[in-house]
Amino acid sequence: MAKSAKKLSLSKARAKKRPATKAESAKRKAPKRRAASPYDAATLKQLSTDVARWRKTTLAKSLEKMPTRKAAFLNDSGIPLPDVFTAADRRGERLEDLGLPGEFPFTRGPQPTMYRSRLWTMRQFAGFGGPADTNRRFKYLISQGMTGLSTAFDMPALMGYDADHPMSRGEVGKEGVAISTLKDFEILFDGIRLDQVTTSMTINASAIVALCMYIAVAEKQGVPMHLLGGTIQNDMLKEFIAQKEWIVGPRPAVRIVTDMVEFCARHMPKWNPVSISGYHIREAGATAVQELAFTIADGIGYVEEGVKRGMNVDDFAPRLSFFWDVHNDFFEEVAKFRAARRMWAKIMRDRFGAKDPRAMMLRTHAQTAGVSLTAQQPYNNVARVALQAFAAVLGGTQSLHTNSLDETYALPTEEAVTIALRTQQIIAHESGADRVVDPLAGSYYVEHLTDEMERRAFDYLRRIDEMGGIIRAVEEGFPQKEIGESAYRFQREVEQGERLIVGVNAFKSASGASNIELLKIDERVAQEQVDRLQAVKRERDPAAVTACLSKVEAACRDEQQNLMPPVLEAVKAYATLGEISDVFRKVWGQYREGGIF
């Protein structure tokens, strides 16, 4: 070893043995400086300065040559949008508001792995004609890769009337499947093991009857109710707000919903007894912010009723599900899903004292926007549906229905519904959207919209609380008025050309609508349904039916009784949907809505 090297080595050894000076000790204890992060205060201040300079120089020069198309840009909810977003716009962001997937506040998704472990459930709305027609459509869609059943019912069933009622004339099987008795459910699910699929049923005012029929059919298959998985919509508050399909008034209707929630919490642990639905609120003309606010408000209303009943929120809230519309404003729709999860988690923890993370977790079905489909140039609807479906997936839905291109004319044909299903499958297996959890997280724009939609929706909730809650707000017509005004603004924008709809008020074709094949419901359906209903009435035990309906009436009059057991008993005796609904009308009266101006 050279002398110089030896000296250096000895010098190092002596230095190690020598006690450190105060300055050296302080230097060793001081934390290591980290590289400036995008959210570092100094960096953000410099970024704000750079953006201001950019606007005065680079942007200003560009605008002199090429002015923007509009003086101001808004999203579909009327939220003002600046020209560019940067990290400086996120300076107030709290990491706890973003969180991680599968953890409070679930902004990034209810499950840690999301679609990396399991794709969303692909449901295609099916229901037309008689129960045998819909049974065939179910089996076809399952053969084509559909992973969950979704059942649409006709208008008589939705309004609590049998096929032979005068109010049903001309409507039997036209907008969904016709059902009047348990016999129809037996045909509807023939050959489909109900412990091997999950089923969604879109029915509200008469939902208690449909659920009892489903339970009874399963028992005939040897499947006990605790093994049944699925969802029944059963959201009566949104009916009074938007869809307008009811039997009795808001308070008795919510009582029936609460009975079902209580029964399912005790006996059907895999079943979602209510799907709190923003879909119909949005379809009625609400903005995305209004859809978010009024839907969450409905959810609060149901939880409040359950708590008043004496139920533990951690026992029933995990089975509450949601249902969102997915419209054309792509980034707004993604942000809506994320804001909804965060709002619900905060509300359940802070307002209701939920302890179980599952009670704070918003799980949702989504459907592309039927109201956005156009009769003009109907093949454009394929592109609209693909865009909307992709937004739902990037927003983190657990279940999805994609509309068919022909649904502005009629119920979908087999070819059209197959294209709609293939749209989901292409997104699932070819887009790459399933490979990363919450892939748009961190987008300055998406995070800004998420925060802004949450803020505006909470403002609506505050106003509703000041009115005394959502049931009182509905009775006063507050959500209805807000939605009506939004629908009017939207239509005015379309008619004045401020909002362009491709094929409607822009890029119109001289030839008009395309000639496409439509599904037509044979008139035989109504007569076959009436004949089957009358046969059931001849064959059943009239005394048993009368006794069962008397028990239903007694339960209606006694709020301490849960309605599910007597309705289930009546269904098994082949009491009809209309007969059970007539009991509700007898006890509580038939509801008529006053004018909303």
**The CATH number of the domain where 333 resides is what?**
3.20.20.240
Q: Decide if 452 is inside a domain.
A: yes
Question: Are residues 182 and 111 part of one domain?
Answer: yes
pLDDT for residue 95: 73
Tokens of 398: 């657990």
Question: Are residues 444 and 341 part of one domain?
Answer: yes
Q: Decide if 335 is inside a domain.
A: yes
- Residue 583 pLDDT > 90, yes or no? yes
Rounded mean pLDDT of 410-417? 93
Distance CA 283, CA 419 (A): 23
- Residue 176 pLDDT > 60, yes or no? yes
- pTM attached to this predicted model: 0.88
- Supply the range of the domain harboring residue 374: 99-433+440-495
Question: Are residues 106 and 90 part of one domain?
Answer: no
* Number of domains within the chain: 2
Last residue of a domain, one of 68, 97, 126: 97
Q: Decide if 579 is inside a domain.
A: no
Question: Are residues 126 and 75 part of one domain?
Answer: no
Q: What strands lie across the sheet with 271-272, from one edge to the other?
A: 271-272, 229-232, 198-202, 148-152, 121-126, 399-401, 364-368, 320-326, 274-277
Question: Are residues 303 and 220 part of one domain?
Answer: yes
Contact 198/144 with Cβ under 8 angstroms?
no
Rounded mean pLDDT of 241-246? 94
pLDDT for residue 88: 83
Alpha helices in 120-241 (DSSP H): 131-143, 155-158, 182-188, 207-220, 236-238
Tokens of 252: 């008795």
198 Cβ contact partners less than 8 Å away, ≥ 6 residues apart: 121, 148, 149, 229, 230, 231
- Residue 71 pLDDT > 90, yes or no? no
Question: Are residues 153 and 37 part of one domain?
Answer: no
- Residue 28 pLDDT > 50, yes or no? no
- Residue 23 pLDDT > 90, yes or no? no
Q: Decide if 372 is inside a domain.
A: yes
pLDDT for residue 232: 97
Question: Are residues 88 and 125 part of one domain?
Answer: no
Question: Are residues 87 and 150 part of one domain?
Answer: no
Q: Decide if 506 is inside a domain.
A: no
Q: How confident is the model at residue 87 (pLDDT cuts 50, 70, 90)?
A: confident
